[in-house]
A and B are shown apart, each in its own frame.
Chain A
Amino acid sequence: MTTEINSEKVFSRTEGLCDIRQHYCPGCSHGIVHRLVGETLVELGVLERTVGVCPVGCAVFAYDYFNCDMLEASHGRAPAVATGVKRAVPDAIVFTYQGDGDLASIGMGEIVHAAARSENITVVFINNAIYGMTGGQMAPTTLLGQVSSTSPLGRDVKRTGYPIRVSELLATLDGATYITRQTVNNPKEVMATKKALAKAFSTQIEGKGFSLVEILCTCPTWLGRSPIESMTWIDEKMREVYPLGVVVDRTAER
């Protein structure tokens, strides 16, 4: 005897992501953020005219993950590559997806000038306070005292200075139209991040210039904590240095 089950599909992969297995570690935030970006592009109806630019770092394979046209940039240069695409094809929706080493260390020049020009692109900035792909080295966003493979006794302010608050730094530039800092360590923040991404991409769609969503993310592998402990660490440690919320919003003036 067979039993008929009436099932309803309530959850599936977004069309904004390719049907491919991702390489990210368990507990890493990249998967959540990828999904949010993919969903946002679908919901805004722009997926088919989107060009993404992925970085060097853990998201280096993202050209295989986002279900839109994708370019892989050299380390730190994604905003310059995105500028080239956007200037050549102004109708395209162009985003970069960059980590803290890529964006705030080797690529600091490119991100600052893209913001200053109010380049009409959207930047998804993953801040997990560490270099992931290369093995847990100190990043420009590593917290004071945080242990990494190149600050084994903890980040020492006397030798390595202070963490960089990218969003606040960029917000000083008139060209920065919309910058916000979010996290994805609980469902409420995930929903808030999605709203922020929608606003950032809408800023671009409306031709209002540079938008950036900084997202505080977990790296359990190199933080040496469990996924849950890593999420708690964001609330207990990271948010103190990197407060959440809108850092600048000039969309009404543009």
Chain B
Amino acid sequence: MSKRQLMKGNEAICKAAMDAGCSCFFGYPITPQNQVPEYLSTLMPAAGRVFLQAESELAAINMVYGAAATGVRVMTSSSSPGVSLKQEGISYIATAELPCVIVNVQRGGPGLGNIAPAQADYFQATRGGGHGDYRTMVLAPASVQEMYQFTRDAFDLAEKYRNPVLILADAILGQMMEPVEITLPPIPVPAPLPWGTRGTRKGSRTTVNTLLINPVDLEAINDRLLEKYARMAVEDLRWEESIPENTELLFVAYGSSARICQTSIEMLAERDIIAGLFRPQTLYPFPYAALKAAAQKVQKVMTVELSAGQLVEDVRLAVECTRPVEFYGRTGGSVFTPDEVADAAQRALGK
């Protein structure tokens, strides 16, 4: 039995974490994600679970490291500058192969920036973000429905790969309200995973460590991570595409930008221009082959993002010069209107 509820994006994340059996949440206040710790400060203790407001982003991510090491489901959330602060901890978590969910409700940058929507943390999210050769899986919701669904999925994926999974949202998705249809029943808090380092040894101790003094040993860890990332790219790629016949221009956009592109496509139709949309839902792993195949059906590709051009690098890697790849973006928390995007597309087609 499904249930439709009107809720904010940030609230949907909380609802999903509760329904996914998340045991612990550690976070720190930063706009525009504050509703996440605010909601969870009520929901988690009421359900007998752990909510703790940490003294800093550094402390929060290291509490996540500690709780994740015990084999329970754990989440933290923040926004761009706060996620930057967490990067050292995320590198440790990825190296120790611990599962956790990290939410980034992106805001304008660089620097302290502002609290307006942006997508300028794409490189940080998809290239590892901290030191060393590691990656986090990155899910990019584009609706409040997906804020719920992807957060629920993130807990399963984090455990499947024993790897941090990042939800890359933005201030629009965090703050807007939409109906959410919940079809999956909530699950109870699962039993701790058997490998957990939780002081319950019976004759054998367990350790969690990311120090490997011998380069050969550390290289072996790196190799294992690379194998895991390769498996993600085979088993858990996600994207959505809508490419009508005779499409002239293919938008590539994720998150809020993709929503804006949908309106731009309708506007372009009124101008007798057929445009399509390719929306990656996993940003890491990135659906390179699917995008290349999609690009072959169109004349031109245009990446649309709230940044100075980050996603566009992956788009160019995917398309491999088989089609021209244009870029349209705005930065610093400024958000393009559907008109602006439609105009940019029209110009790109020389019309």
Contacts and interface: CB of A to CB of B under 8 A. Distances in A.
Interface of A: 18, 48-51, 53, 60-61, 63-64, 67-74, 77, 80-89, 91-94, 109-110, 112-113
A77 B59 contact: yes
Interface stretch (B66-74, B233-241, B278-286): B66-74
A88 B198 contact: yes
Contact of B211 (A51, A72, A84): A72
Contacts of B2: none
B351 interface: no
Interface stretch (B50-58, B149-157, B176-184): B50-58
A69 B54 contact: no
B68 A84 contact: yes
Contacts, number: 133
Given A84-B66, A109-B55, A51 B74 contact: no
Nearest to A85: B66
Contacts of B192: 89
Nearest to B213: A61
Contact of A87 (B50, B89, B197, B202): B50
Contact of A84 (B56, B63, B200): B63
A80 to B, nearest CB: 4
Given A81-B66, A85-B66, A88-B23, A69 B59 contact: no
Contact of B62 (A51, A67, A74, A91): A74
B328 interface: no
A63 B69 contact: no
B69 A71 contact: yes
B158 to A, nearest CB: 15
Contacts of B194: none
Nearest to A56: B211
Contacts of A48: 199-202
Contacts of A61: 211
30 contacts: A48-B200, A48-B201, A49-B199, A49-B200, A51-B70, A51-B197, A61-B211, A69-B201, A70-B205, A70-B208, A71-B66, A72-B208, A72-B211, A74-B65, A77-B58, A80-B59, A80-B62, A80-B63, A81-B63, A81-B65, A83-B63, A84-B26, A84-B65, A85-B70, A87-B67, A89-B192, A89-B199, A92-B200, A109-B59, A113-B59
A91 B206 CA distance: 17
Given A60-B211, A77-B62, A84-B68, A67 B205 contact: yes
B92 interface: yes
B214 interface: no
A69 B66 contact: no
A136 B26 CA distance: 35
B24 interface: yes
B20 to A, nearest CB: 16
B210 interface: yes
B42 interface: no
B212 to A, nearest CB: 11
A53 B207 CA distance: 10
Contacts of A93: 199
A80 B58 contact: yes
A18 B201 CA distance: 14
A48, A61, A84, A85 pick with most chain B CB within 10 angstroms: A84
B50 A68 contact: no
Contacts of A74: 62, 65, 88-89, 92
A53 B66 contact: yes
Nearest to B205: A69
A91 B210 CA distance: 26
Contacts of B201: 48, 68-69
A89 B59 contact: no
B12 interface: no
A84 B67 contact: yes
A80 B92 contact: no
Q: Which 9 pairs between the two chains have the least Cβ-Cβ distance? A: A84-B66, A80-B62, A84-B63, A113-B55, A92-B199, A84-B67, A81-B66, A77-B62, A80-B59
A88 B62 contact: no
Which residue among B59, B88, B206 has the maximum number of chain A CB atoms within 10 Å of its CB? Answer: B59
A80 B198 contact: no
Contacts of A53: 66
Contacts of B202: 48
A241 to B, nearest CB: 28
A70 B205 CA distance: 8
Contacts of B56: 109
A71 B55 contact: no
B323 to A, nearest CB: 44
A92 B55 contact: no
B64 interface: yes
A73 B63 CA distance: 10
A7 to B, nearest CB: 29
